[in-house]
Amino acid sequence: MRGQLLISFSDTDGFGGDYLDIFVNNVIRKRIYNTSYGLYSTPLYVNDVVTIQFSDSSPFTDLDFLINRIDYTTDDEGGDRGIKTTKIDTVITQTGTTFTATTLNISYDFEYKVNFDPTQCFYVGSGFTPDTTNSIVQLPNGKLVIVGQFTSYNGTPASQIIGLNYDGTVNTGFTYGSGLNGDGVRIETQSDGKLIIGGRFYTYNGTLSSKIVRINQDGSWDSSYSVSSGFTTGGTYTNTSLGVTSLSLQSDDKVVVAGSFDAYKGTSISGFCRLNTDASLDTTFSGITTGFNDTVNDIKIQSDGKILCCGTFTQYNGVTRNRIVRLNSDGSYDTSFSGITTGFNGQANQIEIQSDGKIIVVGQFSTFNGVTRNRIVRLNTNGSFDTSFIIGNTSGTGFNSEVQAACILSNGKIVCGGRFTAYSGITANKICGLNSNGTYDSTFVYGTGFGVLPSSEVTDIDQLSNGKLIVSGEFTTYNDIPAIRMVRLDSDGVFNNCT
């Protein structure tokens, strides 16, 4: 099936209801036996056409149950799918996208069908195996490129990278061959549309490119970006348990890179560097001495070129900087980021920068600068705590477990994902919507979310150009509907996947 129809049926006369679903191409047929009252709650799209076909001798005529007002006309000849000419009054009402059909209290059998636009669906099928995705980009043509730890997608071999069409089907025009020979951690798009990938690999489609590679939009290797043995640790590039942990592209397409490496093309570096657009080491990035003393989980470049980093580190260049720091464009410590005192008491996973320059940070931490702020905080542009960002509503307890992903939506609202099951006392299983001031967004409707199992988690959230959300992680259902490691949602949390 290439679509999903959400239907509720209410039986009020005791006839009972037996259901049979038949799925053919882009048509959903549903037959309901021996019933006389139905409530159809169906999410439909503009210009969708809904017709009802009655079977046996059901005497119905002139049903206007269509979004574009095309009438249904009876067949005077009858037959297996025909309709007798005897008329029984039928009332059809519409409230928004909920249609209610009420008939007289008699027993009948009938069948109806829904034609739908398959582009409104996101077809994941069996999804990613055996592990999840890490990073997603959308190409100018709307198609997606995804990297992670997976080796197949819906039964198609995919070595840590795959291209998808907008509807979730495999983009056969994206040719990656043998793909990455280790995990893809981060993918970003250059201004010219080429893609930069960093991770724990050293080949792409059989070509040596240690821990970072640049590819064209069709998946082919870009030979002008020559990395070769590139990043090494202890003199070797073949260790796929180590590599790039984060990267971010500047407006000039230079890439800032962090990871578990100690040299690049034979030059000693301290796990942090910047590369030029030809993959050479940028020697003007000279403000680094000892660098970070632990992992950098995320890098974001501000509009003024300054560089924000967060992670598990507690020092930068030998100075205490607990899990967050801002650097000047040459890599030196930015002393104007003076609002940070004791910083975070636990790991920071992701940074998001608002349009006004304020900074959202999520992670495992429970305090910032000694003040309780469970797993999410907003900072002013100088790094000080933003008191206008209210955690929760009134209780202010924040998230009850780790937040691994955050996405600032085009309307200024925030969607968070992770391992949590509550936000300030409100049930929120691994996903939650917040208003721009940090209060709980009750219009983001996720139902049971991604479930309560400790093994389920959300690791990445991205907003597409049309406003829809791609959410990935370790989960198998969303709001009790099968969803294997990836879903597409409307910006208000409504599920788009097809089962």
The pLDDT value recorded for residue 390 is 87
Instruction: Report if residue 224 sits inside a domain.
Output: yes
**Residue indicated by tokens 């005192």:** 341
Count of C-beta atoms within a 10 Å radius of residue 255: 26
Q: Please state, in angstroms and rounded to a whole number, the distance separating the CA atoms of residues 197 and 409.
A: 24
Asked if residue 136 lies in contact with residue 48, where contact means CB atoms within 8 angstroms, the answer is no
252: in domain: yes
pLDDT score recorded for residue 84: 29
* Shared-domain flag, residues 84 and 154: no
Q: Is position 404 within any domain?
A: yes
Reported as a single tens digit per residue, the pLDDT across 408-432 is 999 999 999 999 999 999 999 999 9
Indicate the number of domains in the chain. 2
At 110-160, the pLDDT tens digits run 333 344 445 567 889 899 999 899 999 999 999 999 999 999 999 999 999
Half-sphere exposure of 106 (CA within 13 A, CB side): 13
Q: How high is the mean pLDDT of the chain?
A: 80
- Examine residue 4 and state whether it is found in any structural domain, yes or no: no
Mean pLDDT, rounded, for 159-166: 96
Q: Which of 113-117, 239-243, 477-481 has the lowest mean pLDDT?
A: 113-117
What pLDDT score was predicted for residue 339? 95
Q: Supply angle C-alpha 474, 126, 458, rounded to 5.
A: 20
Residue 116: count of CB within 10 angstroms of its CB: 22
Cα–Cα dist 352/58, whole Å: 59
Q: Do 172 and 32 belong together in one domain?
A: no
Cα 441 from Cα 408, distance rounded (Å): 13
Which of 100, 119, 138 is the C-terminal boundary of a domain?
Answer: 119
Task: Write out the E strands in 380-466.
Answer: 403-408, 414-418, 422-423, 426-427, 431-434, 457-463
Alpha carbon of 350 to those of 62, 339, 417: distances in Å? 57, 19, 11
Give tens-digit pLDDT for 264-279: 999 999 999 999 999 9
* Backbone conformation region of residue 433, classed left if phi is above 0, alpha if psi is from -120 to 50, else beta: beta
DSSP SS3 for 118 = helix
Rounded to the nearest 10°, the torsion over CA 329, 335, 339, 340 is 80
Average pLDDT rounded to a whole number, residues 233-261: 97
The CATH number given to whatever domain includes residue 232 is 2.130.10.10
Choosing from 102, 119, 136, the residue where a domain stops is: 119
Q: Which residue, among 303, 244, 304, 302, has the nearest Cα to 274 in the 3D structure?
A: 244
Of residues 311 and 101, which shows the higher confidence score?
311
Residues 6+ apart with CB under 8 A from 292: 258, 270, 271, 272, 309, 311, 313, 315, 316
The pLDDT, as a whole number, for residue 496 is 78
SS3 content of the chain, % helix, strand, coil (to 5): 0, 40, 60
What's the confidence (pLDDT) of residue 13? Answer: 32
Residue 481 lies in a domain: yes
More confident call, 102 vs 458: 458
Q: Are residues 98 and 129 in the same domain?
A: no
Q: Is residue 7 part of a domain?
A: no
- Mean pLDDT across 39-55: 34
- Do 115 and 139 fall into the same domain? no
Q: Is the pLDDT of residue 32 over 50?
A: no
The pLDDT score that the predictor gives to residue 5 is 33
| Same domain assignment for residues 105 and 136 | no
Residues 310 and 398 in one domain: yes
Reduced to 3 states (helix: H, G, I; strand: E, B; else coil), residue 357 is coil
Average pLDDT rounded to a whole number, residues 348-377? 96
Same domain, 134 and 99: no
Weakest mean pLDDT among 120-129, 194-203, 217-226, 267-276? 120-129
Mean pLDDT of 49-67: 31
Distance, first Cα to last Cα, the chain: 6
Last residue of a domain, one of 75, 96, 119: 119
pLDDT category, 297, cuts 50, 70, 90? very high
**Does residue 323 share a domain with residue 449?**
yes
Least confident of 316-325, 397-406, 457-466, 473-482: 473-482
If DSSP codes are grouped into helix, strand and coil, which group holds residue 156?
Answer: strand
Residue 11 lies in a domain: no
Residues 104 and 139 in one domain: no
Lowest mean pLDDT among 19-33, 226-240, 443-457: 19-33
| Cα dihedral: 78, 83, 84, 88 (round 10) | 180
Q: Is residue 80 one of the residues assigned to a domain?
A: yes
Domain shared by 114 and 157, yes or no: no
The reported pLDDT for the residue numbered 120 is: 64
User: Which range of residues forms the domain containing residue 164?
Assistant: 122-498
| 171 & 261 share domain | yes
Is there a single domain that holds both residue 150 and residue 223? yes
3-state secondary structure of 120: helix
Find tokens 């008939």 and name the residue. 103
